[in-house]
Structure 1
């Protein structure tokens, strides 16, 4: 059995979160980020997972916990895993890069359905609220 990161949740809790409706997943994501000061993306040492929406916008999917990211993505590509990003680093380093890449943020996708898509400005103001 793999040890859980200290700011992670059990598989049972993760499965419960995966079953929440979109609004509740958004709420839970921002609560978790506020509580733990971090969010999770998916990828490996060289590459982070991006997706597209129907309008072909680049989206960075984020999750509130490693376990939900793992349940959503595991087995897709060898070597990929949940990557923890402290909020302070996300705001100072990731947002400017996402701006350059013209990407938005997909909140807590489940089965390729995003709970919500936030522009970078919306995400920043919600995080810092």
Structure 2
């Protein structure tokens, strides 16, 4: 298990939190660990859509919760670690071009929150200042 990963039991407890608690916990963990997790393979990152057909990039606070949500769907896909600073500085501008929003900590198709890129940047910057 990677040093910033958690046990399956800890991941299941996090997955069991209500939406508001998953959002708050996600920002706390991202600020503390300095990284977030997305799902993909060596070439691409997995995006999804909501009911309004908006493009969403799902993110998770730990590799374990990302794995529990996605494993077994496609061979070769895995949790991909992205440093928070790189996400803010490099990924958000690219996501603007994709007209994508951020899906915070989805569990079984229940997204804890959908944030615009500006909302994500504001919340993440505030969380980093608190940590």
Structure 2 length normalisation: TM-score? 0.95
Superposed CA offset, 1:81-104 (max 9, x none):
000000111011100000000000
Q: Residues of 1 paired with 2:55 and 2:2: CA distance?
A: 29
Structure 2: gaps (5+ residues): 127-131
Runs of 4+ in 1 over 3 A off after TM superposition: none
Superposed CA offset, 1:6-60 (max 9, x none):
1111110001111111001001100100110000000001111100011100000
Q: How does 1:50-89 map to 2 (within 5 A)?
A: 50-89=47-86
Tell me the SS of whatever aligns to 2:74: coil
Structure 1 length normalisation: TM-score? 0.96
Matched, 1:93 2:90: yes
Structure 1: gaps (5+ residues): none
Superposed CA RMSD:
0.5
- The residue aligned with 2:129 is none
1:128 to 107, 110, 125: 125
Q: Residues of 2 paired with 1:68 and 1:36: CA distance?
A: 15
Q: Residues of 1 paired with 2:90 and 2:2: CA distance?
A: 23
